[in-house]
Amino acid sequence: MSARLNTAQPYAVGLFRVVVGLLFACHGAASLFGVLGGAVGTKGGTIDAGTWPGWYAAVIQLVCGSLVLLGLGTRAAAFLASGSMAYAYFDVHQPNALWPMENGGEASAMFCWAFLLLIFTGSGALGLDRLFAGRTVTEREPSAQKAEVAA
C-alpha cells in the first residue's frame, strides 16, 4: 500500500501546489482588481496602488500565486510568498492577539506553512518546471533511490 502511495506522491504534491497557488492568486486578484468579492475590508473594492503593505502584498499574492499554480520557479516564488505571509502574520495579525484564531491570521499562517513546504518539495508533478527541465517524475526517482542506497 505504501509503495503505491509513494508513487502517487509527486502527483499529490502537484495538486497541492495547484490548489494553494490558485487560492493565493485569487487573494491578489481580489485585492488588485476587485473581483471575487474584492479586497478584505473594502466592501468589494480594491487596494489603492502603492499602499504599504497591502498593495505590495497583493502583487506578491497574484504573481507568486500564479507562478506556483503553474509550477514555474516554484521554490523561489514559494520562498517569497512564505516570507510575505510570515510578515503579514507577525506584523499585521499577531500584535492583536497571540493565537491565529483570535487575531484573524489563520489564512496568513496556513499560506506561510504551505509555501514553506513547497520550498522543500518543489513543484511535484504537472509543473512547468519539469517541462522546461526536460525531466519526468520517473526520471528523477531512480537517482533519488540511488542516493538513499549510498547513504
Give the model confidence (pLDDT) of 34-55 as tens digits. 888 777 766 667 888 888 888 9
C-alpha 116/C-alpha 79 separation (Å) is: 7
Q: CA separation (Å) from 36 to 45, 54, 63, 123? A: 10, 17, 17, 26
Amino acid 126: pLDDT:
86
Record the cell numbers describing residue 44, joined without a space.
Answer: 468589494
Name the average pLDDT for the chain.
87
Amino acid 120: pLDDT:
96
